[in-house]
Chain A
Amino acid sequence: MLLTQQSELLDRVPAVQTAGARPPGRSTRRAARRLLGLGWILPAVVVLAVFVYLPLAQNLGFSTLEWDIYSGTQEFIGAENYQRLMADPIFWSSLWNNVLYAVVSLVFQVFGAIVLAAVIESIRHDRWRRGLRAIYFVPSAVSLTVAGLLFYFIYEPNLGLLNHALDAVGLGAWAQPWLGQESTAMMAIIAMSQWQGFGYSTLLFAVAIQRIPSELYEAAAIDGIGAVRRFFTITLPLVREMTGLMIIVTISGAFQVFNEVMVMTSGGPNNSTQVLGTWLYRNGFVRNDFGYAAAIATVIFVITLAIALVQLWINRRRRVEW
Chain B
Amino acid sequence: MVTRLTFAGAIARVFMWTFLLCLVVVVVYPLTWMVLNGFKTNAELFGNPFALPLQWGWENYAAAWNQGVSNYLTTSILVTVTSTIATVFISAWAAYGLARVEIPFSRAWATVILGGLMLAPTVALVPLVKMFQGMGLYNTFWALLILYTAFRIPFTTFLIRAYMIDLPREVDEAAEVDGASRWTAFWRIILPMCKPIIISVVILHILFAWNEYLFAMVFTSGTDVQTLPVGLTSLMSKHGTDYPVVFAGMVIAALPVVILFFACQRYFVKGLADGIGK
The reply to whether B218 and A256 contact each other, CB–CB distance below 8 Å, is: no
| Bound: A9/B236 CA distance, A | 60
The reply to whether B131 and A195 contact each other, CB–CB distance below 8 Å, is: no
| Bound: A158/B46 CA distance, A | 7
Distance of A234 from chain B, by nearest CB (Å)? 18
Please indicate the chain A residues that have their CB under 8 angstroms from the CB of B48 in the complex. Answer: 164
Please indicate the chain A residues that have their CB under 8 angstroms from the CB of B28 in the complex. Answer: 135, 138
The reply to whether A52 and B253 contact each other, CB–CB distance below 8 Å, is: no
Query: Given A38-B97, A134-B265, A161-B49, are A142 and B254 also a contact pair (CB < 8 Å)?
Result: yes
> Which one of A1, A45, A258 lies within 8 Å of B177 (CB-CB)?
A1
Q: Which residue of A lies closest to B26 (CB)?
A: A195
Please indicate the chain A residues that have their CB under 8 angstroms from the CB of B247 in the complex. Answer: 153
Please indicate the chain B residues that have their CB under 8 angstroms from the CB of A44 in the complex. Answer: 90-91, 93-94, 113, 153, 157
Q: Which residue of A lies closest to B231 (CB)?
A: A145
Of the 9-residue stretches A15-23, A212-220, A289-297, which lies at the interface with chain B? Answer: A289-297
The reply to whether A297 and B276 contact each other, CB–CB distance below 8 Å, is: no
Which of A58, A141, A200, A285 has most chain B Cβ within 10 Å? A141
Which of A8, A40, A59, A300 has most chain B Cβ within 10 Å? A40
Distance of B98 from chain A, by nearest CB (Å)? 6
Chain B interface residue count: which class? Answer: 35 or more
Please indicate the chain A residues that have their CB under 8 angstroms from the CB of B102 in the complex. Answer: 33-34, 37
Q: Is B149's beta carbon under 8 Å from chain A?
A: yes
Query: Given A40-B103, A41-B97, are A149 and B26 also a contact pair (CB < 8 Å)?
Result: no
| Bound: A151/B250 CA distance, A | 12
Which chain A residues in 21-43 approach chain B with CB under 8 Å? 33-35, 37-41, 43
The reply to whether A153 and B243 contact each other, CB–CB distance below 8 Å, is: yes
Please indicate the chain B residues that have their CB under 8 angstroms from the CB of A59 in the complex. Answer: 123-124, 126-127
The reply to whether A300 and B257 contact each other, CB–CB distance below 8 Å, is: no
Query: Given A4-B179, A40-B94, A45-B113, are A301 and B254 also a contact pair (CB < 8 Å)?
Result: no
Q: Is A154's beta carbon under 8 Å from chain B?
A: yes
| Bound: A262/B149 CA distance, A | 24
Q: Is B16's beta carbon under 8 Å from chain A?
A: yes
Please indicate the chain A residues that have their CB under 8 angstroms from the CB of B257 in the complex. Answer: 141-143
Distance of A209 from chain B, by nearest CB (Å)? 12
> Which one of A35, A134, A136, A146 lies within 8 Å of B104 (CB-CB)?
A35
Distance of A119 from chain B, by nearest CB (Å)? 6
Please indicate the chain A residues that have their CB under 8 angstroms from the CB of B128 in the complex. Answer: 51, 55
Q: Is B223's beta carbon under 8 Å from chain A?
A: no
Q: Is A245's beta carbon under 8 Å from chain B?
A: yes
Number of A-B contacts (CB under 8 A): 265
| Bound: A154/B261 CA distance, A | 25
Q: Is A62's beta carbon under 8 Å from chain B?
A: yes
Distance of B68 from chain A, by nearest CB (Å)? 15
Q: Is B63's beta carbon under 8 Å from chain A?
A: no
Please indicate the chain A residues that have their CB under 8 angstroms from the CB of B273 in the complex. Answer: 204, 207-208
Instruction: Kindly supply a per-residue 1/0 record for chain A positions 53-89, scoring 1 wherever the CB is within 8 Å of any chain B CB and 0 otherwise.
Output: 1111011001000000000000000000000000000
Please indicate the chain B residues that have their CB under 8 angstroms from the CB of A256 in the complex. Answer: 120-122
Query: Given A52-B151, A142-B257, A159-B243, are A305 and B118 also a contact pair (CB < 8 Å)?
Result: yes
The reply to whether A135 and B50 contact each other, CB–CB distance below 8 Å, is: no
The reply to whether A300 and B126 contact each other, CB–CB distance below 8 Å, is: no
The reply to whether A294 and B269 contact each other, CB–CB distance below 8 Å, is: no
Q: Is A150's beta carbon under 8 Å from chain B?
A: yes
The reply to whether A139 and B217 contact each other, CB–CB distance below 8 Å, is: no
Chain A interface residue count: which class? Answer: 35 or more
Query: Given A256-B122, A258-B214, A304-B120, are A5 and B49 also a contact pair (CB < 8 Å)?
Result: no
The reply to whether A145 and B213 contact each other, CB–CB distance below 8 Å, is: yes
Q: Is A132's beta carbon under 8 Å from chain B?
A: yes
Q: Is A189's beta carbon under 8 Å from chain B?
A: no
Please indicate the chain A residues that have their CB under 8 angstroms from the CB of B125 in the complex. Answer: 280-281, 284, 293, 297
The reply to whether B126 and A47 contact each other, CB–CB distance below 8 Å, is: no
Q: Is A160's beta carbon under 8 Å from chain B?
A: yes
| Bound: A196/B126 CA distance, A | 29
> Which one of B31, B121, B124, B269 lies within 8 Å of A139 (CB-CB)?
B31
The reply to whether A246 and B276 contact each other, CB–CB distance below 8 Å, is: yes
Please indicate the chain B residues that have their CB under 8 angstroms from the CB of A207 in the complex. Answer: 269, 272-273
> Which one of A55, A138, A277 lies within 8 Å of B27 (CB-CB)?
A138
| Bound: A38/B103 CA distance, A | 6
Q: Which residue of A lies closest to B256 (CB)?
A: A141
The reply to whether A149 and B113 contact each other, CB–CB distance below 8 Å, is: no
Distance of B4 from chain A, by nearest CB (Å)? 14
13 A-B residue pairings within 8 Å (CB atoms): A34-B102, A43-B94, A47-B149, A51-B131, A54-B131, A56-B127, A134-B262, A144-B213, A145-B233, A145-B253, A146-B34, A159-B49, A284-B129
Q: 7 smallest A-B Cβ distances: which pairs?
A: A40-B97, A143-B211, A308-B118, A44-B94, A55-B127, A55-B124, A58-B127
Q: A48-B154, A59-B123, A136-B23 are in contact. List 7 more A-B contacts (CB 8 A).
A: A119-B16, A142-B258, A143-B228, A154-B30, A164-B49, A300-B122, A300-B123
